Amino acid sequence: MIATTPAIELRGIHKAFRFFTLQEVSLELSPGQIMGFVGPNGAGKSTTIRILMGLLTADAGHVRVLGRAMPQEQALAKRDIGFVSDDMRLFGNATLAWHMKFVERTYAKWDSRYAAQLLSRFNLQAEQPIKGLSRGEHVKALLLLVLARRPRLLVLDEPTSGLDPVARQEVLSELMDVLQDEDRSILFSSHNTADVERISDQITFIDRGRIVDSRDKETFLERWRRIELHVRDGVKLPDVPSVVDVNGTGRVATVTTNYYTPELHRIYERAGVEIHEVQRMSLEEIFVANVMSSRKERAR
């Protein structure tokens, strides 16, 4: 395999604010992939995204996006990046058509036919003034403006927030369409873990300024399990290193493991504990369990 330049490369990012610090944040996105960036509010998702876009300068660490150092080479890098943030706004005193013309003149690539398709798919009117748009329509307008440019990298901070279910599905369709080109990549942060679970190749969890876990989705889904155990009286539950949470003190205990293997069955059997049921976990459950266990670790 030929080593290719990562689409995004963050190493050891540190950024201190008055009430919050981003620490040791490292992240890598390979071209052709989509990474879901998940974290509670205030975890540092937007800060990380702004640092990688060159809008904030980190105190330490190194940032390369599409091979370019940020923030120094951001003018060049941003030619190939489409950035949408849910707190971003267009100019209220102009129309969507005005913005489309503006973007067309600014960038090398603009697909007007695709833009027209998106207008109808997203149910937007080009001649409508921006100040008349609802929040959801505003986000769709921002997405239209980046999608029609077909940039190599899409960086989206909460792209589906405020969207109705129909619009959300349209957006997800367009995002998956982007990935038909294996040179194009997407980083998106979202609270909608169902969407993240469905379309992400890679998933990164962040909490309280630190990366909690980052790996490919299928591995996450294969490794995490919730196991219901039947513990007979007098039998003690064995200490298993991959078990991050134990719940229940009666005859039924539920353990959460972050690395499920058949070996676990043997361990419990040997300890005289019966495995009643092994359940897969949704990404949301994995995320919550992961964050809780990492907070416990840090508190120690």
Q: Does 20 bind another protein (CB under 8 A)?
A: no
Judged by CB under 8 A, which stretch of 20-28, 214-222, 254-262, 265-273 contacts another protein? 214-222
Do residues 69 and 63 touch, judged by C-beta distance below 8 A? yes
Site for another protein contains 102 (CB under 8 A): yes
> Rule CB under 8 A: is residue 208 a binding residue for another protein?
no
Kindly report the number of other CB atoms within 10 A of residue 231's CB atom: 20
Nearer to another protein, 127 or 218 (CB): 218
127 is a site residue for another protein (CB under 8 A): no
94 near another protein (CB under 8 A): yes
For another protein, the closer CB: 57 or 296:
57
* Concatenated DSSP letters of 182-239: TT-EEEEE-S-HHHHHHH-SEEEEEETTEEEEEEEHHHHHHH-EEEEEE--TTPPPP-
What is the contact mask toward another protein in residues 49 to 88, using x (rule: CB under 8 A)? -x--xxxxx-------------x--xxxxxx-xxxxx-xx
Distance of alpha carbon 201 from alpha carbon 217, whole angstroms: 6
Site for another protein (CB under 8 A): which residue of 42, 92, 238, 248?
92
- Counting residues that bind another protein (by CB under 8 A) gives 53
Q: Smaller CB distance to another protein: residue 90 or 264?
A: 90
Is residue 198 a contact residue for another protein (CB under 8 A)? Answer: yes
Among 62, 89, 109, 296, binds another protein (CB under 8 A): 89
Under rule CB under 8 A, residue 173 binds another protein: yes
Q: Which two structure tokens, joined as six digits, stand for 185?
A: 């990549």
Q: Apex CA 211: angle with CA 208 and CA 212, to 5°?
A: 90
User: Is residue 104 involved in binding another protein (CB under 8 A)?
Assistant: no
Is the CB of 105 or the CB of 232 nearer to another protein? Answer: 105
Q: Is 276 in the site for another protein (CB under 8 A)?
A: no
Are 10 and 28 a contacting pair, CB within 8 Å? yes
**182 or 269: whose CB is closer to another protein?**
182
Cα 92 from Cα 185, distance rounded (Å): 30
Q: Rounded to whole angstroms, how far apart are CA atoms 138 and 36? A: 22
Residues numbered 134-153 forming contacts with another protein, rule: CB under 8 A: 142
**CA 41 – CA 164 distance, rounded (Å):** 21
Burial track 20-45 (b if 16+ CB lie within 10 A, e otherwise): eebbebebbbbbbbbbbbbbeeebbb
Residue 268 makes CB contacts below 8 A (sequence gap 6+) with: 229, 238, 274, 275
Binding residues for another protein, rule: CB under 8 A, are 32-34, 50, 53-57, 71, 74-79, 81-85, 87-94, 102, 105-107, 142, 169, 172-173, 176-177, 179-180, 182, 194, 197-201, 216-218, 221, 280
